[in-house]
Structure 1
C-alpha cells in the first residue's frame, strides 16, 4: 500500500494518476502587475484565470507547487451548498439572502463543469450522476422537511425513500436521503493542473517555490516580498488555507484546521457494482466522516475521520476499511492500495470568508469541505469586483472574520467532533434496532397469515380420454416435500371393492321374485 509522503503531491492515488505537468520557476525578478495572487490553489487559480481573461496583468505566488494541499488532495466532489446547513443560513440571514447564496453555490458548480468542457482538460474524469446524501436514521419526516426547505431556497433536489436508497446502495445502515442531480465528481488534482494551464494560456504567470514572506498593504501599490524578489501590485488577493497564519496571523487564526483522511481500495470487481449501484458522489454525514465514489470502474475512493492535529495516513487505514466493511458487509475482503491526508480550514460560522479587507486587499479562505464549487464562484466574483467593481461579493458580508479560539478552539472542535460522532453512532444503532424489530414483526405477521388462511382443495387433473392411452405416472414425491392437503370427506371416492359388492347385491335383488322374502 502507498501512503502519502510530504512531497509535492505525495504518493496518493491522485498523484499516481495525474497528467504530466512541468515544474514552474521560482520568482527571481522584480515585477509590477495589476493583481498579485498569493496561493495557487483552486481559489487563487480561478481569480488569476478570470482576471487574465479580462485583460489584466496577474501573478500567482505559490510557496510549494500548484494545488499542493487541499486543492490537489480532495475527493473531487463538486456539490451545491456550503458547510453551514440550509437551516442555519436561513436563521442567520433570512430566506431571500439564503436563496442568493444557494444560487451562487450552484453557479460555482456549473463554472467547474463548464471550464472542464471548454478547456477540454485531460484526465479530469468528470463523472455525472448527481450527489446522494443519505441518513443513518429512520426519521424520514426530518429529511422531507429539509427537502422542502431546500426547495424554497431554489435548490435542485429530490427526496428519496429508504427503499429507493437501498436499491442504489446495498447497505443495512442507510435509510432515506436527498438526491442533488446537478452534483458530480472529478479528478481534483488534474482539474487544478488544468485550471493553472488555462490561466497561463490567458496570460497569467505562476511561480512555484515562491513563498510570500511579507506584505505591505499600505498605499495604492502594495508590496509583496519573497525570498529572492518583490512584486508590486494594485490588488493583492490572499487565497489560502490554514497556512495563511504564517503570513498574516490575523487572518489565519480565524480558521479551525481539519485534517481528513482518504483511501482508495484495490480493485473490487463485480462485488463493488453489487454494493454501490449509484453512479455519482455519496455522503452519509455532515461531519467529515464518510463520503465516497467509484473510481477507475471498480475501486472505491473513501474519505472519513477528521482531526485538528495532523495524523499519519497509515494510522487511519484500518479505521477507514472498518467503516467500509460496516457499511457494506459484502465488501468484507476490501483492501487499501493508497492512503493520504489533506488539510482544510473551517470557519466558526462554517461559511467561506470572501471579500475586501481593506482597499486593494482581498481574502478568499475558509471553504471547508465544499471547496470545489465555492472556490470557483468566489474566484469569479472577486475577479469581477477587481476588474468591473461588481458588488456580488457583498452577499457574503454577513459572515465576518471570527477568531477561532487558537489552541482552545482546536480542542473544543475535536471534542465536539467526538461528541457528535458518538451521538450519531448511538442514534444510528437505535435506528438499526428499530428496523430489525420492524422486519421481525413483518415476518411474524406473514407467518401468522399463512397459518390462519384455509387451505384450498387440490385441483384434480381431468381423466385421460379413451383412445389416448394411459396418462404418464407422475414422479414420486418425498414425504417431506409433499404439500399438506386437506380433503373434504364428500370428495373421497369409495374403494373399488365396495363398488363391486354393491353392483353384485343389486343384480341379485333384480333376480328375486317381486314382493321379496322367502
Structure 2
C-alpha cells in the first residue's frame, strides 16, 4: 500500500524483536512509526534475555524450516554488520556456534547434510570429536556442526539498535496498554482502557506476542505461549567455552561475568518466576553438552530469567496481512491464499518461538516489502509458508473433511 507521504504512517504494537524489526525496516523507507508497548522501554518481554543464539538449522531434505533459518541467518548477519557500521548499540559476538551431535546416528545425519549441501567452509562444516574438543576447550563427547559465522546476540540491545537506527522516524509510546483496536475512516486506532486514542494510522502491525489474540480481529491466530527459563551461571572472562555450544540445549560464553544456559520449553505454563526444578533441568542439559561442567553448580544458587515466547502450531513465524476471518465461509470450497479476504491495513509479525534472533531481521524486511509492494526477499513458497492466513485454510479444510466423513467406528 505504498502511496503519498501522508499514507506512509504505521502503528506497531510491541517493541520486542518483531516490532522493532518491522519499525526499523519501514522507517528506513521513509515511514513514520507509532511504536506502542506496555513496558517502559524496548525488549523487555521475550526479547529481554541476556543472550540468544544465532545459527541456522540445516536438514537433510532442506525443508521450509531449514531454508527459512538459513535465509534468516544470512540476512541477520548483514543487518548486524550494518547496525555495527552505523555505531548502533548492538551487542553480539561472532564467536561461532558448535552444534554437537546427540549421538552417533545424529552425527552421521549431520555429515550427510554437509555432504549434500556443499556449504562453504566459513558457513558450515562438520568437525570430528577431537576438533570439537579444541573449539569448545572442553572434552565434549561427540563431533558436530560448526557454524563459524554464528554466535550470541543480546536481543534487547538489538531492539534498541533497531529503533535508534532511524530514531527520528519512530515515536515511542511506552507504558501504554492497548485495550482495543478499531478502524474508522481508513485509519486504524489503538485505544487504551479509557477509550482514549493512543495513536492512529492507515497501517497497524501486531507484534505483541500472544496478546495479539486479545483483539477480536486477530482472535483466530493460533498463537500460544512457550515458557522458557534460562539459567545464569557465573563465568570469568576467557574461561571455557568461549564459543556457543549446543546439544539439546545451549551454553554461551561468559558475557559480563554471566554465562547463559538453557532453556526449558513449557507450553501454556504461566509461572513468571524462575523455578529450581527448571534450573535442575538446565544443569542436566549443560552436563549433556559439556560433561562434568555442572558438577560444582547447585540449582538453588542460580539466578535466571523467564520469558514467554509466542509460538505457532507449525513452529514457523506469522508474517503478513491478517485475514478477515468473519468474511470466510467455512462451507465454501477452499481457495488459494492469494484470494483470501484480508483486513485492509492490518498486519502481523509474530510467532517466532525460540528463533527470534535468527528470524527477526528477515521478518521485518519481508513485512515491509509486503506493505509497500516491493520485491520480496523470499521465494513464493516460503512467503506462503509464513502467511498468517494459512491457519484459516487448514482449519476450514479440516472442518469440511469432518463434516464429509462419518465418525470413527460409525
Q: What range describes the TM-score normalised by the shorter chain of this pair?
A: 0.7 to 0.9
Query: Which residue of structure 1 lines up, in the alignment, with residue 93 of structure 2?
Result: 127
| Contact 2:88–2:165 (8 Å) recurs in 1 | no
Which of 287, 309, 319 is residue 354 of structure 1 equivalent to?
Answer: 319
Query: Which residue of structure 2 lines up, in the alignment, with residue 377 of structure 1?
Result: 362
The higher radius of gyration belongs to: 1
Query: Which residue of structure 2 lines up, in the alignment, with residue 62 of structure 1?
Result: 37
Deviation at 1:334, TM superposition (A): 2.9
| Contact 1:159–1:178 (8 Å) recurs in 2 | yes
Show CA shifts across 1:395-448 (max 9, x none): 421345438x9xxxxxxxxxxxxxxxxxxxxxxxxxxxxxxxxxxxxxxxxxxx
| Contact 2:316–2:385 (8 Å) recurs in 1 | no
Number of aligned residue pairs: give it.
354
Q: Supply the distance in 1 between the matched residues of 2:165 and 2:233 (Cα, whole angstroms).
A: 32
Deviation at 1:205, TM superposition (A): 0.3
Q: Supply the distance in 1 between the matched residues of 2:203 and 2:122 (Cα, whole angstroms).
A: 34
Which of 292, 306, 311 is residue 341 of structure 1 equivalent to?
Answer: 306
Which of 249, 257, 262 is residue 303 of structure 1 equivalent to?
Answer: 262
Deviation at 1:160, TM superposition (A): 1.1
Show CA shifts across 1:360-381 (max 9, x none): 2111111111112311111122
The verdict on how the C-alpha distance between 1:153 and 1:249 changes in structure 2, with shifts beyond 3 A counting, is farther
Query: Which residue of structure 1 lines up, in the alignment, with residue 245 of structure 2?
Result: 282
| Contact 1:143–1:176 (8 Å) recurs in 2 | no
Which of 166, 172, 182 is residue 206 of structure 1 equivalent to?
Answer: 172
Query: Which residue of structure 1 lines up, in the alignment, with residue 231 of structure 2?
Result: 263
Query: Which residue of structure 1 lines up, in the alignment, with residue 200 of structure 2?
Result: 232
Deviation at 1:249, TM superposition (A): 7.4
Deviation at 1:299, TM superposition (A): 4.0
Q: Which runs of 4+ in 1 moved over 6 A?
A: 152-155
Query: Which residue of structure 2 lines up, in the alignment, with residue 365 of structure 1?
Result: 350
Query: Which residue of structure 1 lines up, in the alignment, with residue 334 of structure 2?
Result: none
The verdict on how the C-alpha distance between 1:146 and 1:217 changes in structure 2, with shifts beyond 3 A counting, is farther
Gapped runs of 5+ residues in structure 1?
A: 1-30, 406-518
Q: Supply the distance in 2 between the matched residues of 1:249 and 1:257 (Cα, whole angstroms).
A: 19
Secondary structure at the counterpart of residue 30 of structure 2: coil
Query: Which residue of structure 2 lines up, in the alignment, with residue 216 of structure 1?
Result: 182
Which of 79, 95, 107 is residue 55 of structure 2 equivalent to?
Answer: 79
Show CA shifts across 1:177-200 (max 9, x none): 111122121222222223233342
Show CA shifts across 1:152-181 (max 9, x none): 799921111122212333666631211112
The verdict on how the C-alpha distance between 1:194 and 1:392 changes in structure 2, with shifts beyond 3 A counting, is closer
1:147 aligns with 2:114: yes
Query: Which residue of structure 2 lines up, in the alignment, with residue 191 of structure 1?
Result: 158
Gapped runs of 5+ residues in structure 2?
A: 1-5, 323-341, 395-410
The verdict on how the C-alpha distance between 1:376 and 1:49 changes in structure 2, with shifts beyond 3 A counting, is same
The verdict on how the C-alpha distance between 1:110 and 1:119 changes in structure 2, with shifts beyond 3 A counting, is same
Secondary structure at the counterpart of residue 93 of structure 2: coil
Q: Supply the distance in 2 between the matched residues of 1:63 and 1:130 (Cα, whole angstroms).
A: 35
Deviation at 1:226, TM superposition (A): 2.4
Q: Supply the distance in 2 between the matched residues of 1:154 and 1:361 (Cα, whole angstroms).
A: 42
Q: Supply the distance in 1 between the matched residues of 2:120 and 2:218 (Cα, whole angstroms).
A: 34
